[in-house]
Structure 1
Amino acid sequence: MVLDSRPPAPLVLRAAAGTASRGDAQLPLTVTEFRLLCELAAVPGRVLSRPELLERVWQHGYFGDERIVDVHIRRLRTKVELDPGAPELVVTVRGLGYRLDPQ
């Protein structure tokens, strides 16, 4: 068995073009997932709370359960993380919110 010792391709976000990719692979993000990723990438390393993300991503006064953010973060992780079960890019900060750890 041969293991690939190369480091994984970095996540590349092109906000103006509306695309995200890892290596040569385009990531099939929904509009909401893409907006979440852009908001987190705009302040790398800074924690954004659920209310902040609701305000920034949904913008038009979402009045439902704040847990909708968790659902979209979970879906985003399945597409951008190498191991969604052990995220290294989109990180949960318990009790506070989420942050994007720059690569």
Structure 2
Amino acid sequence: MTIVRVSLLAVALLLSTQVMAANSQQDKMKSCNADATAKSLKGDARNTFMSTCLKATASAPAASMPATQQDKMKSCNADASAQSLKGDARKAFMSTCLKK
């Protein structure tokens, strides 16, 4: 009888942990989606942003800047494309964005 109770308790703990992890991923998806919508991103720019946002760890929230220069360049380029910037306006935007 005790073995059955311990087994049921172990299964319940395992399932609750998986549910919490799923909720965490769902919350992250909602947050990233809301951020992308707020920035009015569409197409490839949105896909790039969502990918970067969803890969962010708990220690590095989605609102923080990308860790590497290459990631920063991709993010800034996607934002500039989303805003349809060209010429000097794009250069100025990229310069400011990369300095952050």
Q: TM-score, normalization: structure 2? A: 0.34
More helix by share: 2
Task: Give the structure, 1 or 2, with the largest relative contact order (CA under 8 Å, sep 6 or more).
Answer: 1
Structure with more strand by fraction: 1
Q: Larger Rg: 1 or 2?
A: 2
Superposition TM-score, scaled by structure 1 size: 0.33
